[in-house]
Chains A and B, each alone.
Chain A
Amino acid sequence: DIVMTQAPLSVSVTPGESASISCRSSKSLLHSNGITYVYWYLQKPGKSPQLLIYRMSNLASGVPDRFSGSGSETDFTLKISRVEAEDVGIYYCGQLLENPRTFGGGTKLELK
């Protein structure tokens, strides 16, 4: 199985500041078709997870452009610019390259 490792476990951010979350995969997520199959999700308190970023750097529909994704074949970063109160929750990275699909352990974002 592809292991997805996230860091940090939690992050505390002042509103208006930026935050970055890292995710590392145990295997390259770059397919021969040139697509990198890493995704980012946010689970807000009391809600189901929602898609933020797909295929490493594409913003999902309706997601503010304060969110951005970047990375290489095995190291990925989610950046949140100008953090707002509505960004609080648990962030997960995940891969859709292979079965079984796997997820990172989650990063909890809180406000200072």
Chain B
Amino acid sequence: NAGVTQTPKFQVLKTGQSMTLQCAQDMNHNSMYWYRQDPGMGLRLIHYSVGEGTTAKGEVPDGYNVSRLNKREFSLRLESAAPSQTSVYFCASSESTDGYTFGSGTRLTVV
């Protein structure tokens, strides 16, 4: 099925641990995004990429790094997790002014 695939779906980390959230899309979209969603705060943009080899900071980039490995894949890395990074993380992709297609999300808890 065409779409955006995120792994893992759930993760619990201890403070200071690192991890990488994976995202892949098979719709040949140029643009990909990482958002976090916290209760009552909507979705906030972390980083985004408008093409292979390019990335840019969004609204809340601190504590996160991204890699656009190829056109399909866009990963998000937490180098040293903090409790404030407990959230639901969504990856999305789009083509120009079309609507976003979102992945199913990763529910991350940092203890």
Chain B binds chain A: no
